[in-house]
């Protein structure tokens, strides 16, 4: 079955008395070269960093356009789909693949570590998905915070605007809390853009496929990750303010004068803004703040 043919997809959905749902961010791929290229990118990178078995987690398989490409490459594919009406559809479209497991859950509600243990044991896992855009950031942060150590890579399609933010450096205007946070876990690569005409229905924006190449050993030494993420969130909470003013609102347990001293002890100008700090800078600052808190 050609899962990128508009007529096939429409009649398939109609046969199961369902349709695309905006509320679940459903924009299905109808340009066959796109799921092919995403799966190739994901699998080739996975194979280059993991010699052992090849497993992949997909979030939101839809009717299975990307899923079938993943099943043709990976040894094991586990997909989590929130929309109950797509479960029988996928039962039909994925019937030929015995390396496929479907889980009908809200990905954001999964207990990720036990889910990964149950489905993949100790095997290295990559993530590959055309993400529902309404929850891109929470999905990415859940993958990184709850499963970061377990994943080899994360290859996902996101809105172009989000991709620009994720790939920005502290010299760019797109740089933000999400950029710094993701940079802590790995390197982000922009792979290719996808035009709205490649989807059913067409979204209003251009999309971009990115890959987060996760560090096996993080290059940063951080005393307390919670302090790091609190400092990053605090630094970007009020973008127009200086780092000192932003942090003195969010890190209320340390007097403002002492935060000022810490900023200069880290080697930063006292008038610097948070958006000028790289993830390495944030780690240095967070470690000093953590030490101060522990005094």
Judged by CB under 6 A, the number of residues near ligand SAM is 22
Stretch that binds ligand SAM, among 18-26, 120-128, 142-150, 260-268 (CB under 6 A): 18-26
Q: Is-contact 186 215, C-beta < 8 A?
A: yes
**Residues sharing a CB contact under 8 Å with residue 57, sequence separation 6 or more, in sequence order:** 78, 79, 80, 116, 119, 120, 125, 126, 127, 128
Contact between 71 and ligand SAM per CB under 6 A: no
Contact between 66 and ligand SAM per CB under 6 A: yes
Q: Is 161 exposed, middle or buried (0-12, 13-18, 19+ CB in 10 A)?
A: middle
Residue 257's SS3 state is: helix
Stretch that binds ligand SAM, among 26-34, 115-123, 234-242, 253-261 (CB under 6 A): 26-34
Buried b (16+ CB within 10 A) or exposed e, 26-60: bbbbbbeebbbbbbebbbebbeeebeeebbbbbbb
**Residues sharing a CB contact under 8 Å with residue 229, sequence separation 6 or more, in sequence order:** 181
Strands (E), 131-252: 151-159, 186-194, 199-200, 207-214
Stretch that binds ligand SAM, among 48-56, 100-108, 167-175, 249-257 (CB under 6 A): 100-108
Contact between 59 and ligand SAM per CB under 6 A: yes
Nearer to ligand SAM, 23 or 267 (CB): 23
Q: How many residues does the chain have?
A: 295
Q: Tell me how far, at minimum, the Cβ of 138 lies from ligand SAM, in Å.
A: 9
Which residues face 157 on adjacent strands? 130, 209
Stretch that binds ligand SAM, among 127-135, 173-181, 185-193, 277-285 (CB under 6 A): 127-135
Site for ligand SAM in 182-211 (CB under 6 A): none
Nearer to ligand SAM, 209 or 247 (CB): 209
Contact between 29 and ligand SAM per CB under 6 A: yes
Contact between 27 and ligand SAM per CB under 6 A: yes
Contact between 137 and ligand SAM per CB under 6 A: no
Chain residues binding ligand SAM by CB under 6 A are 24-29, 59-62, 65-66, 80-83, 106-108, 130, 132, 135
């Amino acid at each position: 079955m050609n899962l990128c043919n508009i007529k096939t997809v429409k009649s398939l959905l109609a046969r199961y008395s369902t349709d695309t749902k905006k509320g679940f961010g459903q924009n299905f791929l109808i340009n066959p070269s796109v799921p092919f290229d995403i799966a190739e990118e994901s699998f080739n990178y996975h194979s280059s960093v993991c010699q052992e078995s090849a497993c992949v987690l997909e979030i939101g398989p839809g009717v299975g356009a990307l899923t079938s490409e993943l099943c043709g490459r990976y040894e094991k594919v586990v997909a989590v789909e929130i929309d109950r009406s797509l479960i029988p559809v996928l039962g039909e479209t994925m019937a030929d693949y015995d390396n496929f497991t479907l889980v009908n859950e809200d990905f954001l509600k999964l207990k990720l570590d036990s889910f990964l243990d149950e489905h993949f044991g100790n095997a290295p896992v990559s993530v590959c998905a055309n993400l529902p855009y309404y929850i891109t950031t929470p999905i990415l942060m859940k993958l990184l915070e709850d499963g970061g150590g377990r994943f080899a890579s994360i290859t996902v399609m996101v809105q172009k605007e989000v991709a620009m933010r994720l790939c920005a450096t502290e010299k760019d205007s797109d740089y933000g809390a999400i950029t710094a946070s993701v940079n802590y876990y790995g390197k982000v690569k922009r792979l290719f853009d996808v035009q709205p005409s490649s989807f059913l229905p067409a979204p209003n924006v251009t999309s971009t496929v990115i890959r987060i190449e996760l560090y096996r050993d993080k290059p940063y030494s951080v005393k307390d990750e919670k302090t790091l993420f609190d400092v990053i969130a605090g630094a970007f909470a009020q973008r127009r303010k200086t780092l000192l003013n932003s942090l003195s609102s969010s890190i209320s347990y340390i007097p403002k004068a002492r935060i000022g001293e810490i900023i200069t002890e880290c080697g930063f100008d006292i008038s610097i803004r948070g958006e000028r700090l790289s993830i390495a800078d944030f780690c240095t600052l967070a470690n000093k703040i953590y030490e101060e808190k522990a005094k």
